[in-house]
Structure 1
């Protein structure tokens, strides 16, 4: 285990949120509306078949459970994601459905149920404009849904290409490119064919091009969208880069290239990874630990390299399934665990130290 860390940082536990009666699988911060005084809102979903909505009190700064979304999913709720506007929350479940909840001033109602997957739906993601929704599942497929008026959703493409359970789907932050990662050890990149309006796989990242050698659990993009980070059962974290200018110009697909591999930092499966707007990568794993990495400015001869800047052992009592940076405060982080709790953290510069990134 590599242990060199930057002493300029501290991770302070702010609050532990309790209420779920089973493992907590996924977290999603509600997008910031850009209005001062609007409280932070966090969604969590669990093996107890519920989704909980937590809201921060402006008076105390503490988070309280404001809503429990239940009696819709009949099995584990595996993933949750807010639409870019924050008006809708999508939740996917082992009951083979994805539910769409509308938030009307804190009152939530299920306005659509998406069916089609053969079994467990593992992940859900909205594109940047909120016009498309992607789901994936144990049935090895990725579905793309078009958001229509009056809370209607139409499946426009079923993507077959993975040979095993698909663990996560994630839209690129600015371009309609979809990334999926799977139990088959691969990451696939999907793009729309402009001529036929159909979707197809334009790139597969696997062991043959410096990819992972075991299940790929999660991925995240940096703020500018020119880099992607992935984590795996092979105990590594990998950084990928692309020519974002070419991708955004529409001149053709820009391939992702392997930049760096981080290994030796977790000694059990890395389940979750998230890249903050400030450039800090956070990882959560089955070793109950959280790690923080950032780009190293020391050696750029062979391209960007990344270094561990902070580690938190025993952040939870059991496996950490999700880590998510806040969409409102740069230094706030939430983590979720098999122990049934959610923890709110502040990642800050140590007293008397300056944060060097």
Structure 2
């Protein structure tokens, strides 16, 4: 069971990252600030008196707590990583990235707190020694932006992901020890290690760990990393998770490694059984792209951040411990419904249903998911199944004695969303925005020659260092030209439907 327990709205620009320690929550944003909240025992999440922290000149891309929780690192387009005292809210050091000109996109502390790794838009990695705050070494990943980095739980290896789509493993001298080319088509956006080192196949030879990664290909992947007898690393793809329909921007393991969460451009947060690669929950309370997700290291709490400027706090109480009880839950994700039991196995014969094939019970479950459970009895009494739902109009709702104008409008709006999704297979691909995979309303042509929804490409440019979503190459200009011809074609097609 997952429940929304709190929404924080302190930022006035996109939320780029969330981080949780045993006692605090930190969030950062394009508004140049870092905000810090008390999170003792998953409590009230009250903002601390010294928050927000204002040590950056430009947007802040990432924030991380040190393992002991004493330090908070934040990195920014201003080419710096600031180390903050969590107790005082004062900067302890400003680490300027080598070269001093490239945006720092991501950072991570080693498990023992002795190192801090930082990745930048120019493709460089920097490793800093703590507490001396001394630069130890640097390395470069071609000309691709380093968009992701994560230390392994053993602290022996650092994983990084780039906009070229490669995953790389590094030792503590930043020597490359493995490269997984084309791990994600069009680029890696985030990666994270499971906190556990399991005893799977090959454990007698060396360490076995799991790494999750996500990317622009709308996929989340789980990899097995095996330390070989020669000191190298063998990497194997274990699972490919397809629970989201647009680029996946963030991923995070729970503190016990049993759950894996991800946030996507499709505005959803998904939670998987990480061991069995089964989708457990889909959360759709954010209004725009979900850019960040993080689990608490001590409590059953998760934080998610979005371009809607909100941070949602969730209570996550997984049902896997219920002594084998097979309580069926219906997980609805846009026009596809997936029926699973709490042990993660798909119920026979009920794996995937389009809206038109929904039963009356499926419609009832959808109403409950959308907060319309008050209409369940009315719809059931009138035998409203999926086909009837899609054909529903204002007059139909009046006949059903849904008297509230607001309620009728909400139902029709939710049905329109279902129709938009169910029609997607028949929509010409050139009418869909390459970023959101939604039908474009205001198509514009970018410098890479591709057409995008204006709002989507504006957000992309502001958060992706002016790279092309399709080629990952720098955009020569950020000028966007309205594509009137395409807009007219989409209008004619929509009318014909």
What interval of TM-score do these two structures reach, taking the shorter chain for normalisation?
0.7 to 0.9
User: Deviations 1:188-240 (Å, cap 9, x if unpaired)?
Assistant: 11014xxxxx4311111123xxx221210011111214111110100111110
Indicate how the Cα distance of structure 1 residues 165 and 349 shifts in structure 2: closer, same or farther if over 3 A, else same.
closer
Indicate the residue corresponding to 2:44 in structure 1.
62
TM-score using structure 2 length: 0.59
**1:195-274 mapped onto 2 (5 Å cutoff):** 198-207=173-182, 211-225=183-197, 226-243=209-226, 246=228, 252-263=231-242, 265-274=243-252
Deviation at 1:139, TM superposition (A): 1.1
1:318 shift after superposition: 0.7
> Does the 8 A contact of 1:161 with 1:201 survive in 2?
no
SS at match of 1:157: strand
- TM-fit CA distance, 1:62: 1.6
Note if 1:320 corresponds to 2:290: yes
What secondary structure is seen at the aligned counterpart in 2 of 1:255? strand
- Closer, same or farther: CA 320–57 of 1 in aligned 2, 3 Å: same
Report which stretch shifted further, 182-191 or 162-171: 162-171
Q: Show CA shifts across 1:17-54 (max 9, x none).
A: 11111111111112x3xxxxxxx310111111111111
Deviation at 1:261, TM superposition (A): 1.4
Q: Give 2:307's aligned residue.
A: 338
Unmatched runs of 5 consecutive residues or more in structure 1 = 1-9, 33-39, 193-197, 297-304
2:276 equivalent to 1:309 = no
Classify the secondary structure of the residue corresponding to 1:65: coil
Per-residue CA distance 1:265-307 (angstroms, 9 max, x = gap): 21111001111115111111011101111156xxxxxxxx512
Q: Which of the pair is proportionally richer in helix?
A: 2
Count, aligned residues: 311
Give the corresponding residue for 2:266: 287
Corresponding position of 1:107: 88
Structure that is richer in strand per residue: 1
Question: What is the rounded CA distance, in whole Å, between the counterparts of 1:28 and 1:295 in structure 2?
Answer: 20
Residue 74 in 1 paired to residue 57 in 2? yes
CA contact (8 A) 1:57 1:64 kept: no
Residues 45 and 308 of structure 1: is their aligned pair in 2 closer, same or farther, counting only changes over 3 Å?
same
The whole-number CA distance in structure 2 between the counterparts of 1:100 and 1:57 is 22
Deviation at 1:84, TM superposition (A): 1.2
For residues 41 and 70 of structure 1, the distance between their equivalents in structure 2, rounded to whole angstroms, comes to 14
Question: 1:165 aligned to 2:145?
Answer: yes
Is the contact between residue 268 and residue 285 of structure 2 (CA under 8 Å) also seen in structure 1?
yes
1:139 partner SS: coil
The answer to whether the Cα contact below 8 Å between 2:171 and 2:177 also exists between their aligned partners in 1 is yes
The verdict on how the C-alpha distance between 1:333 and 1:57 changes in structure 2, with shifts beyond 3 A counting, is closer
CA distance in 2, matches of 1:203, 1:254: 7
2: CA distance, partners of 1:156 / 1:310 = 42
Q: Which runs of 5+ in 2 are unaligned?
A: 198-208, 328-340, 345-497
- CA deviation after TM superposition for structure 1 residue 356, in Å: 3.7
- Between the two structures, name the one with larger relative contact order (CA 8 Å, sep ≥ 6): 1
1:41 pairs with 2:24: yes
Q: In the alignment, is residue 179 of structure 1 matched against residue 159 of structure 2?
A: yes
Match of residue 11 from structure 1 = 2
Contact 2:149/2:192, CA 8 A, preserved across alignment: no
Deviations 1:126-169 (A, max 9, x none): 10111111001101101011114xxx411111111243111011
Q: Do residues 24 (structure 1) and 2 (structure 2) align?
A: no
TM-score calculated relative to the size of structure 1: 0.82
- How far apart are residue 355 of structure 1 and its match? 5.3
Residue in structure 2 matching 1:275, options 220, 229, 253? 253
Looking at structure 1, the residues matched to 274 and 68 of structure 2 have their Cα atoms a distance apart, in angstroms, of 31
Q: Deviations over 1:328-353 (max 9, x none)?
A: 11x31110011111100112257995
Q: CA RMSD in A?
A: 2.2
Shift, 1:70, TM fit: 3.2
